[in-house]
Chain A
């Protein structure tokens, strides 16, 4: 069957419960109650501190077929996932599902656990490195589920992603299970992506290498939701967890795109007091923030909040009075951690608060503008951020589809040509974010506006911006680089791409090799 954006979705996919095709960004209506975790009693003399992961596995007990969840704030410095899965393998467990919010190169040992039958399912929002490559070549018997950050929160809240045991990589903990991310050698800042896991899992285990005195403060995840605390030697490598500083690109093409994107935002008229903004940490995205900042300073605009993954650059804007608040679901650098632990206007929010579509209102709904990237975009404005030019998985939505759906204006910044490859294609290989939620594409050679947003097009033309039809931009790129041949994929479905509301927006098929 074809879904609302014309992607062919099989009626049934082995290993995936009832398939609901994507029907439109705000079409699906929830008809369920929230998931309720197991109710427990902890008596006054009970202790939560446990000596080893093996002991925790036996106490719970962790059994074959369970779903173990993890969060990704330690990024490529994470040591907890590998430690926990090695314990599972050591104890001879089989058929586990790993629900890890993002998979990084450091998680390569997952591949062997799959080959040995320890792990048979993967549920994630983003993956890169050896695991992603192996998944693309058919590592798993059943498809991997790719969600959005908000969609993962939703799936946990609504019982579609039922977590037996959540392992929280905790930079700091006390013996009674209060946790935060701002202290200890592996400080990572916000623990937001772990909030739904901690709230809805049947068992919650904190894994830490830094025990503070009771009661730990600040408290990000409270003792009321944590069953066990395990002290280990080292939870991760700080070098892979945070970067020292986040630099703004010096690439002239990137800067040109960023400057144009800032002018696009200005032309929307949204840069005024109360402005709410989200941007990524990479390439042209952060550079756009620098240009927007100049405009805000020039007109003495005080924004309401900046949202999402927080960098030192955003912290500097907060401290300079350009935004009143930061809402932080993930910190990227040391400045973000310092600010979160010292500034009451820097708020730590959970994945559900950030972006879940099925609650009484998430933060992305309050955004004026979001700046996002793309690996491919089609002439219907659908965006791919999952598969690369060779068809291999190299990313995932993360918060892409969530922020795009929520913001008043969603802007994609991208080079018209990356190397030789045009960004605009007839049909993206993998649709991640539906075109109806994308408003503008900004490239170094012009700006394309979604035909659904005639209001914006008029404003951009009035502002003298280089507005072009998306077909015209596509032809321009192909005149320079030639038209690319579509890449070939096999039939086997290696991943399903779930939209934030739980419907299936696309599938990823196996690549050769």
Chain B
């Protein structure tokens, strides 16, 4: 599966959390990331890398991701992204416990 079935969201706008919205990408669109972050200058690149890695690891190649970050750690960003993908109909490779 190269994309997801529908739009979905996970996370909050609380401090130290991130709100992830995922929407299906058109065939061949690639991974499109729109990022807002209170630590954009310090961690913007790191956040994009973890977002990209998380969706790629699920075998998704075409997707639109919007992340509104309030200083979340990598583990939180990863978890929120997986939750959003799951809600969007992606069958995750590992079960989220």
Q: Which residues of A are interface residues toward B (Cβ below 8 A)?
A: 389-391, 418-421, 480-482, 484-488
User: Which residues of B43-96 have CB atoms within 8 Å of chain A's CB atoms?
Assistant: 43, 45-46, 70-74
- For B16, the closest partner residue in chain A by CB is A419
Q: Which residues of A contact B72 (CB under 8 A)?
A: 420
Q: Which residues of B contact A485 (CB under 8 A)?
A: 41-43, 45
- For B42, the closest partner residue in chain A by CB is A484
User: Which residues of B3-37 have CB atoms within 8 Å of chain A's CB atoms?
Assistant: 15-16
Q: Which residues of B are interface residues toward A (Cβ below 8 A)?
A: 15-16, 38-39, 41-43, 45-46, 70-74
B73 interface neighbour in A389, A480, A484, A487, Cβ under 8 Å = A480
Write 14 A-B pairs (CB below 8 A) sorted by A numbering: A389-B38, A389-B39, A389-B41, A419-B39, A419-B70, A420-B72, A481-B43, A481-B73, A482-B74, A484-B42, A484-B43, A485-B42, A486-B42, A487-B41
B71 interface neighbour in A390, A391, A420, A488, Cβ under 8 Å = A420
Given known contacts A389-B38, A420-B39, A420-B71, what 14 new A-B pairs fall within 8 Å (CB)? Answer: A389-B41, A389-B42, A419-B38, A419-B71, A420-B42, A420-B72, A420-B73, A481-B73, A484-B42, A484-B43, A485-B45, A487-B41, A487-B42, A488-B41
Closest CB in chain B relative to A481 CB, distance in Å = 6
Given contacts A389-B39, A419-B71, contact A482 B15 (CB under 8 A): no
- For B45, the closest partner residue in chain A by CB is A485
Query: A389, A390, A419, A480 — which one has the most chain B CB atoms within 10 A of its CB?
Result: A419
- Main SS of chain B's interface residues? loop
Closest CB in chain A relative to B7 CB, distance in Å = 27
Q: Which residues of A contact B41 (CB under 8 A)?
A: 389-391, 485, 487-488
Q: Which residues of A contact B38 (CB under 8 A)?
A: 389, 419
Give the distance in Å from the alpha carbon of A488 to the alpha carbon of B40 in the complex.
12
Q: Which residues of A contact B73 (CB under 8 A)?
A: 420, 480-481
Give the distance in Å from the alpha carbon of A484 to the alpha carbon of B41 in the complex.
8
Give the distance in Å from the alpha carbon of A421 to the alpha carbon of B46 in the complex.
13
Would B15 and A419 count as touching, CB distance under 8 A? yes
Q: Which residues of B contact A484 (CB under 8 A)?
A: 39, 42-43
- The 5 closest A-B CB pairs, nearest first, are A419-B71, A484-B42, A420-B71, A487-B41, A420-B39
Give the distance in Å from the alpha carbon of A268 to the alpha carbon of B3 in the complex.
61
Q: Which residues of A contact B16 (CB under 8 A)?
A: 419-420
Closest CB in chain B relative to A23 CB, distance in Å = 32
Would A421 and B45 count as touching, CB distance under 8 A? no
- For A418, the closest partner residue in chain B by CB is B71
Closest CB in chain A relative to B37 CB, distance in Å = 9
Closest CB in chain A relative to B13 CB, distance in Å = 13
Q: Which residues of A contact B42 (CB under 8 A)?
A: 389, 420-421, 484-487
Would B74 and A421 count as touching, CB distance under 8 A? no
Closest CB in chain A relative to B18 CB, distance in Å = 10
Give the distance in Å from the alpha carbon of A314 to the alpha carbon of B11 in the complex.
41
Give the distance in Å from the alpha carbon of A390 to the alpha carbon of B43 in the complex.
12
Closest CB in chain B relative to A301 CB, distance in Å = 38
- For B69, the closest partner residue in chain A by CB is A420
Q: Which residues of B contact A420 (CB under 8 A)?
A: 16, 39, 42-43, 71-73
Closest CB in chain B relative to A445 CB, distance in Å = 15
Closest CB in chain B relative to A508 CB, distance in Å = 16
Q: Which residues of A contact B74 (CB under 8 A)?
A: 482
Give the distance in Å from the alpha carbon of A36 to the alpha carbon of B15 in the complex.
52
Q: Which residues of A contact B70 (CB under 8 A)?
A: 419
Give the distance in Å from the alpha carbon of A421 to the alpha carbon of B37 in the complex.
12
Give the distance in Å from the alpha carbon of A480 to the alpha carbon of B43 in the complex.
13
Give the distance in Å from the alpha carbon of A486 to the alpha carbon of B71 in the complex.
16
Give the distance in Å from the alpha carbon of A389 to the alpha carbon of B71 in the complex.
12
Give the distance in Å from the alpha carbon of A391 to the alpha carbon of B46 in the complex.
20
Give the distance in Å from the alpha carbon of A430 to the alpha carbon of B76 in the complex.
31
Query: B16, B39, B43 — which one has the most chain A CB atoms within 10 A of its CB?
Result: B39
Q: Which residues of A contact B71 (CB under 8 A)?
A: 418-421
Give the distance in Å from the alpha carbon of A389 to the alpha carbon of B46 in the complex.
17
Q: Which residues of A contact B39 (CB under 8 A)?
A: 389, 419-421, 484
Q: Which residues of A contact B15 (CB under 8 A)?
A: 419
Closest CB in chain B relative to A444 CB, distance in Å = 14
Closest CB in chain B relative to A263 CB, distance in Å = 27
Q: Which residues of B contact A390 (CB under 8 A)?
A: 41
Give the distance in Å from the alpha carbon of A33 to the alpha carbon of B49 in the complex.
61
Give the distance in Å from the alpha carbon of A385 to the alpha carbon of B72 in the complex.
23
Give the distance in Å from the alpha carbon of A238 to the alpha carbon of B12 in the complex.
36
Q: Which residues of B contact A421 (CB under 8 A)?
A: 39, 42, 71
Q: Which residues of B contact A481 (CB under 8 A)?
A: 43, 73
Give the distance in Å from the alpha carbon of A418 to the alpha carbon of B38 in the complex.
11
Give the distance in Å from the alpha carbon of A2 to the alpha carbon of B42 in the complex.
26
- For A391, the closest partner residue in chain B by CB is B41
Query: B41, B45, B71 — which one has the most chain A CB atoms within 10 A of its CB?
Result: B41
Give the distance in Å from the alpha carbon of A390 to the alpha carbon of B39 in the complex.
8
Closest CB in chain B relative to A266 CB, distance in Å = 32
Give the distance in Å from the alpha carbon of A420 to the alpha carbon of B15 in the complex.
9
Closest CB in chain A relative to B28 CB, distance in Å = 32
Closest CB in chain A relative to B57 CB, distance in Å = 19
Closest CB in chain B relative to A476 CB, distance in Å = 14
Q: Which residues of B contact A487 (CB under 8 A)?
A: 41-42
